[in-house]
Amino acid sequence: MHLEVSNLHKQFQTRQGILVALKDINLYVETGEFVCAVGASGSGKSTLLRLMAGLETPTAGEVRVAGRRVTGPGPDRGMVFQNYTLYPWMNVSQNVEFGLKLRGIPAAKRRQQVSYYLEVVGLTQFAKVLPRELSGGMKQRVAIARALAVQPQILLLDEPFGALDVQTKEVMQQFLLHLWQQTQTTIFMITHDVEEAIFLSQRIYVMSARPGTIQREFHIDLAGDRTYSIRRHPQFQDYRDEITQLLRGKELESAIVTEGASV
């Protein structure tokens, strides 16, 4: 098992008291698998990913990668955020190379790695271009190449296409799926987009509203190639309807409880 989350609990102290963000989270990602967690705003998705990345400390429970407990950030995990987080003063090649420099990789090896991953994401001809000259989708490709260049054991994606327009988002989803198939990188991604999760992943964890818990796990078994047309397949629509209903049911229940508490 590549990534394992066991009995994970996270709470924060606020002015109003203790806020429970995540409760009793148990999930796993096998080597080479693409898994998504889907949930509405406030379900704790980003908190979960930050705990996996070592950017937050759990209140209870643990995260393990390849059997080792996560106690902080590390090169075994690459992370891509919704907002591209590229260094504006560095060109595309320098951005991809940044993590390799931090790790002390020799210059010749860095050039080789940067060249390879720019080719993988289709940006070789833009190596010397600054981020401000790129489209949103191209910036996110650079961010993904930078994360992959250090050869992490698992790639963590925080709603990476959330800031893109619909057409670019669809192109990037197809790109990411092809990239995963090509590299066999282990990927865990959070999203609020149900169709995106179904299209990309092999398994989906559906999260409840706060406190975030795992409501259900779905194994996605779609016949044929995953191209845009598969979204019209009855099986795809059945997954979408079932997951959406599950999310809406819990959201409505949470809203009713909140309204009742305020009366």
Ordered per-residue pLDDT tens for the chain, 263 residues: 589 999 999 999 888 888 889 999 999 999 999 999 998 888 889 999 999 999 999 999 999 998 999 999 988 999 998 877 899 999 999 999 998 998 889 999 999 999 999 998 889 999 999 999 999 889 999 999 999 988 898 999 999 888 788 888 888 899 999 989 888 899 999 999 999 999 999 999 999 987 889 999 999 998 778 888 888 899 999 999 999 999 987 554 544 444 444 43
Per-residue pLDDT tens digits for 25-39: 999 999 999 999 998
For the entire predicted model, the pTM comes to 0.89
Query: What is the rounded CA–CA span in Å between residue 120 and residue 13?
Result: 43
- Identify the CATH homologous superfamily for domain 3-76+152-262: P-loop containing nucleotide triphosphate hydrolases (3.40.50.300)
CA distances from 26 to 8, 214, 244 (A): 7, 7, 21
